[in-house]
Amino acid sequence: MNRILILLLLTVPAFAQQTNLPDDFLSSEFHRERRAALRAKLPQNSVAVFFANPVRNRSNDVDYLYHQDPDFYYLTGYREPNAVLLIFKEKQIASNGSKYDEIIFVQPRSAFREMWDGRRLGPQGVREKLGLEQVFTNLDFNKYNLNFSRFDEILFFDFHNDVRDNPDDPADLFDLISQFKTKVGYPSPGNTVVNPEPQRNNLNTRDLVQIMNDLRGIKTEEEIELIRKAVRISCAGQVEVMKAMKPGMSEREIQGIHEFVFKKYQAEQTGYPSIVGGGHNGCILHYIDNYKPNITANELVLMDLGAEYHGYTADVTRTIPANGKFSPEQKEIYNLVLKAQEEAMKICKPGTTFEELTMATRRVINKGLTQLGIIKSEDEPHLYYPHGCCHHIGLDVHDRGHYDVLRENMVITIEPGIYIPENADCDKRWWGIAVRIEDDFLITRNGYEHLSIGAPRSVDDIEATMRQPSALDDFILPPVDGKKK
């Protein structure tokens, strides 16, 4: 064996040392309290089972950047793949007589794999860093002798993901799921039972969704602070693009400025694929190509982007004129969307329903479109505003939570929009105008905190910001011949 490899294998603990990491991750106490809150909601004589997210292949031997399952992260803080967590309603008795009510199986340490793929916590690191006590390697899961048939309910999320088997890893997610299915007698696609032993009908793939919605829909102070940071970073990106925007820029260039700001302020990822739509592309609600090479002076640019900071994402949308000045038609539509958003903000407080927020925006938009002659009457069906106006944000951009009434410490968006595609059934002076304004709000005891107020919203404020100089004004790629244009 290579001498260097031998040294690596003998120095696993030293290889795992990490320094200068951010100190504002969620605390182990947060995750412990969240597990306790889940346990309190579980039915009697039950166990909840959670699996880490799969590793997703990008192409050949390259995988996508790993992103943990949000529920798994919420309950543990663990950010590695190939793991399974069990949370019990009642105390279980181990073979040595000790009692426990939760157990996690994680990747073992491996100096060789860590040299290629990055550091691993291993069982000892999970105990020390994340505060879980019953921690074993995922290789131990198959040997874990638990009679699942004695539980009244086994709660878990049904398996719908494409999980690939790594033949070189006997305890990857594919194997963990297969082993679990065997242990609980999970039905195969052919309606046969994997385990021939008789099993009670105790598999519950329904109720865990509602329980996690209960928990994650209401944010704690630690979560709110991380969301605030994600939103502030996202607002900074919007401001910098407003200052840098010039006709002729590409959608990809605008996306790059936003995401550069995200990285500058230590946001690990984007919370969702960035949307930058120039002109007619803004009418595509989830437009992520961002490939238009030349945005013309008379076009609007719709920018829906959110930084993800320590797992928590913002969701902020601004729409700006490429040349820095709204045309009369663009201004009419923009102010109509802004008015609709502000109408919803007037009733944004505990007790208001999500439906009431949407209808408040829809009434304003339908009345305004009628007055502009774009639709014939306020009750005319149309697709110029085809979506609802609000959703939870948090560990997911469309986060877990109930969509009934607003409650204190929910974090939601309000995002009305108007999208008038080319060849729409209206005067063509409106064609190609797409406007969405999306802001993030923390619901407080008596109202709300406007988290994304740092990104200009009004026509006057946007135009004033776009007149400011940009640090990127001189960032010009020189021509091939080396002569400056």
Q: DSSP letters along 313-380, please?
A: E--EEEEEETTSS--HHHHHHHHHHHHHHHHHHHT-STT-BHHHHHHHHHHHHHHHHHHTTSSSSTT-
Q: Are 92 and 99 contacting, i.e. CB atoms less than 8 angstroms apart? A: yes
Closest Cα to residue 217, out of 55, 337, 41? Answer: 41
Q: Which two tokens stand for residue 220?
A: 């704690």
Residue 485: per-residue pLDDT: 46
Tokens 């809150």 locate to 37
**Phi/psi of residue 193, each to 5°?**
-100, 130
Residue 481: per-residue pLDDT: 59
The amino acid that residue 437 corresponds to is: I
The partner residues of 88 in beta bridges, in order of sequence, read 47
Q: Are 73 and 79 contacting, i.e. CB atoms less than 8 angstroms apart? A: yes
How many whole angstroms separate alpha carbon 451 and alpha carbon 439? 7
How many whole angstroms separate alpha carbon 242 and alpha carbon 455? 10
CATH superfamily of the 220-466 domain: Creatinase/methionine aminopeptidase superfamily (3.90.230.10)
The ranges assigned to domains in the chain are 20-214, 220-466
Q: Are 147 and 118 contacting, i.e. CB atoms less than 8 angstroms apart? A: no
Cα–Cα separations (whole angstroms), residue 130 to 17, 105, 134, 212, 415: 15, 13, 11, 20, 37
Spacing of C-alpha 144 from chain mean position: 33
- DSSP strand pairing (203-204 vs 153-155): parallel
Q: CB-based contacts of 111: which residues, under 8 Å, 6+ apart?
A: 8, 9, 11, 12, 15
Closest Cα to residue 317, out of 232, 436, 463? Answer: 436
**Phi/psi of residue 243, each to 5°?**
-75, -35
How many whole angstroms separate alpha carbon 269 and alpha carbon 306? 9
Residue 12: per-residue pLDDT: 43
Residue 297: per-residue pLDDT: 97
Tokens 């969701």 locate to 315
Q: Are 83 and 121 contacting, i.e. CB atoms less than 8 angstroms apart? A: no
Tokens 């993800």 locate to 308
Closest Cα to residue 122, out of 145, 143, 97, 140? Answer: 140
Task: Let me know if 160 is exposed, middle or buried by CB neighbors in 10 A (0-12, 13-18, 19+).
Answer: exposed
Residue 483: per-residue pLDDT: 52
CATH of region 20-214: 3.40.350.10
Q: Which two tokens stand for residue 229?
A: 């940071």
Q: Are 24 and 312 contacting, i.e. CB atoms less than 8 angstroms apart? A: no
**Furthest CA-CA distance within the chain:** 80
Across the 485 residues of the chain, what is the mean pLDDT of every consecutive 10-residue run? 42 47 92 98 98 94 94 98 98 90 97 94 97 97 94 94 89 96 82 45 95 98 98 98 96 97 97 97 96 96 98 98 98 98 98 98 98 97 96 98 98 98 96 98 98 98 97 72 51
- DSSP strand pairing (153-155 vs 46-51): parallel
Q: Which two tokens stand for residue 304?
A: 């829906």
Tokens 């949307």 locate to 275
Signed CA dihedral, 106, 108, 113, 117: sign only: positive
Q: Which two tokens stand for residue 319?
A: 């729409």
Residue 475: per-residue pLDDT: 73
